[in-house]
Structure 1
Amino acid sequence: MQEELYIEFEKYLLNEMTTQEQSEFENKLQTDDSFSEQFQIYKETTQFLKLKFSKEAGDFKENVHVIGSSHFGKPARRRSKVISLQSKWFAVAAMLVVFMGVWYFNQSGNPNFSDYNKYNEAHFIERSDTNQNLVDAQTFFNAKDYKKASQSFAKIEDLTNPELQLYYAISLIESDDYAKASVLLKNISQGNSVYKEEAIWCSALSSLKQKDYKTCKKQLELISQESEKYNQAQKLLKELD
């Protein structure tokens, strides 16, 4: 149910989950695109409401907390300003919040990183490969566990292969380690491998994730018409205008 979904989001944002619940929640964010998108909309919308309509947003979040506490058997701290809501009204309010969030962020004109961070699966090991760090890096990357993937890549002794460098850089971007990713991508983009323009595309995605739209546009403009990423680059450029 939507009500339970929003209660779960609020518990995570308020750090009220157990260690196991938090781990399961964060794993679902990594593996379930729909769940991740709904969470981002909820989080960004409540932040927007807090800035624009502080009293109403506070009342709404307080009601989520109160209802969540009653559902999960935890005593709730009630305040005089809290509006008592039945479950059906909560569901309506939650739907309105999400609808407002979709409208507001569509109006902002800036594209989201999550709309473009779609990668090909890694297939750089042979069945007979005994390099465990390499095997782990591929396995974690394809499972979208980018933190562990980047840790495995870091343990590989020979990282001169541009393909390995590219997937390592992607893992670093997804783990918010932009500086290390930049070094790897710059090295690839200045070379002559088949991954040159893919590296430029990933550099643009890194800038997009950091909301550095000016740099993102400059990098996108470097992608040639012969590149597989050209159409996506042009689409992203239009959204950035």
Structure 2
Amino acid sequence: MEELKYIEFENYLKNELTEIEKKAFENKLQSDADFKQEFEIYKALETSLSSKFKNEEGEKELRKTLTNLGNQYINEEKGTKKKSKVISLFNYKKLMVAASIALLIGFFIFKNGNPVYSDFANHSNLELVVRGDSNEILLKAQEAFNAKNYKTAFAQLTILETDSPNDIEIQLYKGICLLEMDKFSQAETIFDKISKGNSAFSNKSTWYKALSYLKQEQFEACKNTLKTIPESAEEYKLAKKLLQKL
């Protein structure tokens, strides 16, 4: 089955083959041009599809790679003397490459069927209200968070919290920092506390609790948490979208 070949490709890329298997694989890459071609296509799709085209550059890179692979075929066939057979063979190979790509896309979609945290973790910039003598610390916190330097941001927010212990927004962003640092238990403790309150950040905190479960691939817990977000909440549409993908 083709899937077994792709699993072998993946195991090679992850360095999970035995020395004997690795040597046999590399020998086949040297001796079998079609096998090598499929492997190169797999690597291109592994890079781009597994990240689900998070940005346009990723998609452009995939297109460029596949174009280069196609051009290799063209250059190989130009050196053949029997031109009529070249056209036929090239068209056949194009179909084989297209079929390989279709199979690989199906393989990756199956492998990566569930949504991932990075698809939904789009944080609003931190823009806190200036608080007297805390102005410098606040600016450092904002700069660090907006630059995705979550460890520094958390440290600065903790200092700010000593002067404003009841500021829910500071607490929420501390929770987000902890989530980004994979400190799930601490983050969820903060999100739980806020979501049970009556602040304007209650539903947003519930949303982030769901994202914490998503990041840990606890999909059922994520679903159950999303279902508690009311239709009136700003996060409801996002919650509905995520539910549909789970």
Does residue 113 in structure 1 map to residue 67 in structure 2? no
Relative to 1, partners in 2 of residues 1:221 and 1:80: Cα closer, same or farther, differing over 3 Å? closer
Q: Which runs of 5+ in 1 are unaligned?
A: 1-47, 63-77
Match of 1:53 in 2: 7
Deviation at 1:151, TM superposition (A): 2.2
CA distance in structure 2 between the aligned counterparts of 1:207 and 1:115, rounded to whole angstroms? 14
Q: Which residue of 2 aligns with 1:207?
A: 213
One-letter identity of the residue aligned with 2:7: F
Residues 146-176 of structure 1 show CA distances to partners (whole Å, capped at 9, x for unaligned) of 1221122233313321111111111110111
Offset, 1:196: 0.6
SS at match of 2:171: helix
Partners in 1 of 2:12 and 2:231 — Cα distance? 52
Alignment of 1:158-197 (within 5 A): 158-197=164-203
Pairs aligned (count): 175
**Which residue pairs with 2:98 in the alignment?**
none
Q: Please, what TM-score do these two structures have when normalized by structure 1?
A: 0.61
Determine the C-alpha separation between the residues in 1 that align with 2:148 and 2:4: 31
Superposition map of 1:101-180 within 5 A? 101=50, 103=105, 104-107=107-110, 108-126=112-130, 130-156=134-160, 157=162, 158-180=164-186
Deviations, residues 107-127 of structure 1 (Å, cap 9, x unaligned): 343111111001111111328
Aligned-pair RMSD on alpha carbons? 3.2
- Relative distance call for 1:195 and 1:99 in structure 2 (3 A) is closer
| Distance in 2 between residues matched to 1:143 and 1:49, nearest whole Å | 42
Larger relative contact order (C-alpha < 8 A, sep ≥ 6)?
1
- Determine helix, strand or coil for the equivalent of 1:130: helix
The residue that corresponds to 1:17 in the other structure is none
Check if 1:94 corresponds to 2:43.
yes
Structure 2 letter corresponding to 1:186: D
- Decide which of 218, 222, 236 is 1:216's aligned counterpart: 222
What's the TM-score, normalizing by structure 2? 0.60
Q: 1:105 to 1:171 in 2, by over 3 A?
A: farther
Q: Using a 3 Å threshold, how does the CA distance of structure 1 residues 234 and 155 change in structure 2: closer, same or farther?
A: same
Deviates more, 1:186-195 or 1:145-154: 145-154
Compute the displacement of 1:135 (Å): 2.6
